[in-house]
């Protein structure tokens, strides 16, 4: 009888280890911390989907509730511990810009007549999760405001499932135009020639799309002077780039999850997932995708050799007919900024693009950097060989990683010099 608890304990331990353990590249630091974080996220998603199936609200809202509860618990456990997220001199205001909720961070007032930098920040989360008001996003923006004497505007754009594309984009564009108005810049003592926009992941997607629109809008007297994109998601037509294949099962963003985020955002039928997974939606049979458009994301040309390695492009001759007509947003540059023409890219401001080796979105960022450079835009590419998707947000205790701290510091340093 005494043996039974031991057997049960061993069985439970083995089951937990099986769920938690995933093989990771050798150069990923603190692998067990990353495995545990990924396991916690996967468990949260599965529980949320079960609750959805049982009728307890939408699974995305269940995930939000769970992550917010975990964040609150961690905040309580940390007590008074702070890694720099609280900046007493920074004034924080929750207001609206053109009807869109924003959080404004104002650094301590300087001498009269001294203009400050301005930066609009768009958070990530697959257009469904996250908030710039919470966690590491809030901590990073507080620190940036204080350290770089910058007025930071973090946009709380609407999310799935409450809205779909193009609503999040429209929210960000409306807030951006309001922010860039002479009246608002004067109110916050911001230098009109030193205003930037940045974002990570889905926020990087929105930042790139908004930058393109602002840059080509002849009615705008003030435009963004820089764009800082942190592992941005930029295209919908090829889910078999080298980075998508190489990192298809990497935390925190798998290829399957990225495709799901896209389907949600574009209000597409989830049954299309298997078709997108094997590039059937972008087959040569799709006459609405001309060769010129395909060339804008041809990684065999746009990627440096070190990233192409021995990968082969997956080009499907005859896939599922009519998917692009069924989901026209797949070709909308407001959703997929990498598809923008060179005449649009040429008008964009200088850029900072952060990419991570172990990220499905690595090649999106690298291809965009190359296309911007080809269009004559000055680009700084900051690549982290030991980085993974989400590491930028994992720079504060208790979910802190060394690569996350380095990524934030590199981002700060670039803004310090270029904004």
In this structure, what CATH number is given to the domain that contains residue 185?
3.40.50.1820
Q: Choose the catalytic residue: 131, 154, 198, 201.
A: 201
- Tell whether 43 and 146 lie within a shared domain: no
Domain membership of residue 149 (yes or no) is: yes
Q: Choose the catalytic residue: 382, 389, 393, 395.
A: 389
- Tell whether 50 and 121 lie within a shared domain: no
- Tell whether 406 and 344 lie within a shared domain: yes
- Tell whether 227 and 116 lie within a shared domain: yes
pLDDT, averaged across the chain:
90
pLDDT exceeds 70 at position 409: yes
Stretch 43-59: mean pLDDT, rounded?
83
Domain membership of residue 252 (yes or no) is: no
Stretch 255-274: mean pLDDT, rounded?
97
Q: Choose the catalytic residue: 38, 171, 238, 359.
A: 359
- Tell whether 116 and 223 lie within a shared domain: yes
- Tell whether 213 and 359 lie within a shared domain: yes
pLDDT exceeds 60 at position 168: yes
Domain membership of residue 410 (yes or no) is: yes
Q: Is 94 a catalytic residue?
A: no
- Tell whether 73 and 102 lie within a shared domain: no
pLDDT tens profile 359-400:
999 999 999 999 999 999 999 999 999 999 999 999 877 778
- Tell whether 204 and 137 lie within a shared domain: yes
Domain membership of residue 348 (yes or no) is: yes
Domain membership of residue 377 (yes or no) is: yes
pLDDT exceeds 90 at position 88: no
pLDDT tens profile 309-352:
999 999 888 877 789 989 999 999 999 999 999 999 999 999 99
pLDDT exceeds 60 at position 12: no
- Tell whether 118 and 194 lie within a shared domain: yes
How many domains are there within the chain? 2
Domain membership of residue 177 (yes or no) is: yes
Q: Give residue 34's domain range.
A: 3-78
- Tell whether 161 and 66 lie within a shared domain: no
Last residue of a domain, one of 78, 112, 143: 78
Q: Is 359 a catalytic residue?
A: yes
Domain membership of residue 112 (yes or no) is: yes
- Tell whether 103 and 200 lie within a shared domain: yes
Last residue of a domain, one of 45, 78, 111: 78
pLDDT at position 80 is 40
Stretch 266-276: mean pLDDT, rounded?
96
Last residue of a domain, one of 78, 103, 125: 78
Domain membership of residue 305 (yes or no) is: no
- Tell whether 115 and 180 lie within a shared domain: yes
Q: What is the pTM of this model?
A: 0.93
Q: Is 52 a catalytic residue?
A: no
Q: Residues near 49 by Cβ (< 8 Å), separated by ≥ 6?
A: 59, 62
């Amino acid at each position: 009888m005494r043996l039974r608890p031991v057997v049960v304990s061993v069985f439970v331990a083995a089951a937990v280890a099986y769920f938690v353990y995933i093989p990771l590249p050798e150069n990923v630091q603190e692998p067990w911390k990353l495995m545990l974080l990924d396991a916690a996220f996967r468990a949260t998603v599965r529980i949320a989907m079960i609750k959805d199936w049982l009728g307890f609200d939408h699974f995305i809202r269940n995930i939000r509730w769970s992550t917010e509860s975990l964040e609150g618990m961690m905040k309580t456990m940390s007590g008074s511990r702070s890694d720099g997220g609280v900046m007493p001199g920074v004034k924080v205001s929750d207001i609206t810009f053109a009807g869109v909720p924003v959080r404004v961070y104002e650094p301590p007032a300087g001498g009269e007549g001294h203009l400050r930098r301005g930066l609009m920040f768009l958070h990530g989360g697959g257009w469904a999760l996250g908030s710039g008001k919470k966690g590491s996003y809030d901590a990073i923006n507080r620190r940036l405001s204080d350290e770089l004497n910058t007025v930071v505007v973090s946009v709380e754009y609407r999310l799935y499932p409450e809205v779909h594309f193009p609503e999040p984009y429209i929210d960000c564009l409306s807030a951006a135009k309001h922010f860039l108005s002479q009246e608002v810049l004067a109110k916050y003592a911001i230098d009109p020639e030193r205003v930037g926009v940045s974002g990570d992941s889905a926020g990087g997607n929105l930042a790139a799309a908004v930058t393109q629109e602002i840059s080509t809008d002849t009615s705008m007297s003030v435009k963004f002077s820089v764009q800082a994109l942190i592992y941005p998601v930029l295209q919908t037509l090829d889910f078999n780039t080298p980075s998508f294949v190489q990192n298809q099962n990497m935390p925190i963003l798998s290829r399957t999850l990225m495709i799901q985020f896209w389907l949600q955002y574009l209000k597409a039928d989830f049954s299309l997932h298997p078709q997108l997974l094997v590039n059937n939606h972008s087959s040569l049979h799709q006459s609405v995708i001309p060769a010129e458009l395909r060339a804008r994301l041809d990684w065999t040309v746009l990627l440096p050799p070190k990233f192409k390695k021995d990968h082969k492009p997956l080009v499907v001759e005859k896939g599922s007919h009519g998917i692009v007509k069924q989901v026209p947003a797949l070709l909308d540059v407001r959703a997929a900024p990498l598809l923008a023409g060179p005449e649009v890219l040429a008008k964009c401001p200088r850029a900072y693009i952060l990419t991570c080796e172990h990220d499905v979105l690595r090649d999106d960022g690298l291809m965009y950097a190359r296309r911007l450079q080809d269009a004559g835009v000055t680009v700084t590419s900051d690549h982290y060989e030991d980085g993974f998707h989400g590491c930028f947000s994992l720079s504060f205790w208790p979910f802190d990683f060394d690569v996350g701290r380095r990524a934030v510091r590199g981002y700060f340093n670039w803004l310090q010099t270029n904004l």
